[in-house]
Amino acid sequence: MRKLLVGVAVTLLCLCGMAQADMNPDPDALWERIVESEPYRQWAFFPDHQGMQEGSAPHGLYHIVYANDVAVKAGHPKGDGAVIVKENYNADKELAAITVMYKVEGYNPEAGDWFWAKYTPDGTTLMAGKPKGCIACHTAAQSTDFIMVSGH
Ligand code: HEC
């Protein structure tokens, strides 16, 4: 009985810990979240970046940027749990890739605590974690929390 109780307590602790801080984000879990449980296409746009926009290299010629409630709130830096999803379209306006920034407090303090991920349109992970390429280029936007489109 005692063992069982300890087991239950440990399980609860683990679950609570997971809910609070996702220190080791998993790209598949993130994909599941933004497509199934909190579908990003129902999220808002940044007020100054609505709908489809023309983009620049390396992301694709057109893009749509969606932001969840935490991310869309004005001001920088964004809070823990902010998620920004960018759909990248080719010249024919076909969806080519999906790039995501997910704020996890404490995950990578040198670069804004963002977890970066790139997926094919069907959810295959192409890159995830702290890719040097993503961070190096987005560092140009350090003053706006590594967000290139201004994010308000
Ligand atoms: C060479 C520069 C460069 C690299 C490398 C780069 N980005 Fe970006 N990113 C941009 C620019 C510029 C924008 C603004 C929108 C646009 O022009 O496409 C942007 C926008 C974004 C956005 C929308 C939020 C924002 O910051 O405006 C996300 C999400 C994103 N990038 C994710 C990524 C991920 C993930 C990677 C790595 C796999 C990556 N980016 C690599 C330049 C870059």
Amino acid 96 reads A
| Structure-token pair, residue 77 | 């830096």
Residue of minimum CA distance from atom 13 in ligand 1: 148
Q: What is the pLDDT confidence band of residue 30, given thresholds at 50, 70 and 90?
A: very high
Task: Pick from 138, 144, 145, 152 the residue to mutate for probing ligand 1's pocket: most ligand atoms within 8 Å of its CB.
Answer: 138
Q: Which long-range contacts (CB under 8 A, 24 or more apart) does 89-92 make?
A: 89/52, 89/60, 89/61, 89/62, 89/63, 89/64, 90/60, 90/61, 90/62, 91/61
Higher-confidence residue of 9 and 42: namely 42
pLDDT above 80 (res 10) = no
**Contact indicator for 49, 65 with CB cutoff of 8 Å:** yes
| Closest by Cα among 53, 59, 83, 63 to 71 | 83
Q: Residues 66-125: pLDDT tens digits?
A: 999 999 999 999 999 999 999 999 989 999 999 999 999 999 999 999 999 999 999 999
- Ligand 1 center to residue 133 CA distance, Å? 10
